Amino acid sequence: MLSALIRILRAIGTAALCLAAASAAQADNYPSRNITLVLPFAAGSGTDTTTRLISQHLSQALGVGIVIENKAGANGMIAATYVARAAPDGYTLLVTTNTTHSANPYLLKNLTYDPVKDFTPIARTGDLPFMLVIHPEVPAKSVGELVAYGKANPGKLSYASGSSSAIVSGATFAHNAGLDLLHVPYKSSPPALNDVMGGRVSMMFVDILTGLPHVQGNALRALAVTTKDRSSLVPNLPSMQEAGVPDFDISSWQGYFGPAGMPKEIVTRLNAEIRKIVEKPEIKAQLATLGMDAFSGTPEQLATFVNEQLVLWEKLIREAGIEKQ
């Protein structure tokens, strides 16, 4: 009986050693084929554009191809669930924002993934500030004028959304300014913005990269940024608080994640390469022209940040009076 038990324990130990050796070998050979970056938003969104720039340099650093897969829909849940269920081998990664990892747990009733338990944090890549844009025919040249018009015409104004930042920004604006706004949701920002430019929706909170070209082309009018202070990316725009809307400070962040259980060596390698790219002055400058404040940190810092953001976004969503859908 005892000898049989010893044989079983030896077999278990041998299997564990084999698995450890296989994992180490996998990490040593990583990467040996193309890596897929899954995005929860459509092509043309701020996350898509900045990721494509970073991925070019990441491909060169790792010596393999980088494939971008846009899996828009369900407020990012489709993409996040897909990566959460992928093999944790470093070849399927999620490039995402606060939509999937901060807001969705408090926006969606039937979430099919856990933003903490189902993912391995790799690296944060920066922030994507948002701004409030309106159709030029809306009779307002400032946030104050927009609020006055909305109060004089209850129910007439609407806001589009293509991400959780846009949803929460719109609801927070309506709540804090005391406005009756109709929410019109979209799968991603580009189609939402098209309807604002077409005059079918009054306004939208959109990332600076996606919205600024249309503002510069006079198809939209920008009124303010959503961060507490002015953004260096558009220094002429006031913050929402500066424009008279109290307690308004919302920003979208961006980061890289893998499925839970990724080998530490692979995470360390990816983190090192992504940080080198993001922290290069010339790349930071390029990302700034795309509306992104680029910076990075360790996987541990990203893990801590995600937990802090979950607390923050729960508060934002609760105070805005948004109910789970």
Give me the CATH number covering residue 301: 3.40.190.150
For residue 215, give both structure tokens: 């503002």
- Residue 103 is part of which domain span? 32-128+251-320
Domain boundary among 225, 260, 278: 225
Domain membership of residue 123 (yes or no) is: yes
> What is the SS3 assignment for 304?
helix
Residue 67 lies in a domain: yes
Q: Give the single-character DSSP code of 236.
A: T
pLDDT digits (tens, 9 = 90+) for 204-219: 999 888 898 999 999 9
* Dihedral in degrees, nearest 10, Cα atoms 182, 185, 147, 252: 150
**Residue 16: which pLDDT band, with cuts at 50, 70 and 90?**
very low
Task: Specify whether the CB–CB gap between 293 and 126 falls below 8 A.
Answer: yes
Q: Do 150 and 138 fall into the same domain?
A: yes
Q: What is the mean pLDDT of residues 10-27?
A: 51
The pLDDT tens digits for 116-136 are: 999 999 999 999 889 999 999
The amino acid present at 223, given as its one-letter code, is L
Instruction: Tell me what pLDDT residue 13 has.
Output: 54
- What per-residue confidence (pLDDT) applies to 4? 53
> Do 153 and 124 fall into the same domain?
no
- Tell me: do 265 and 221 sit in the same domain: no
Residues 134 and 221 occupy one common structural domain: yes
Domain end position, chosen among 225, 259, 281: 225
Residue that terminates a domain, selected from 225, 260, 292: 225
The answer to whether position 294 is within a domain reads yes
Residue 19: pLDDT over 50: no
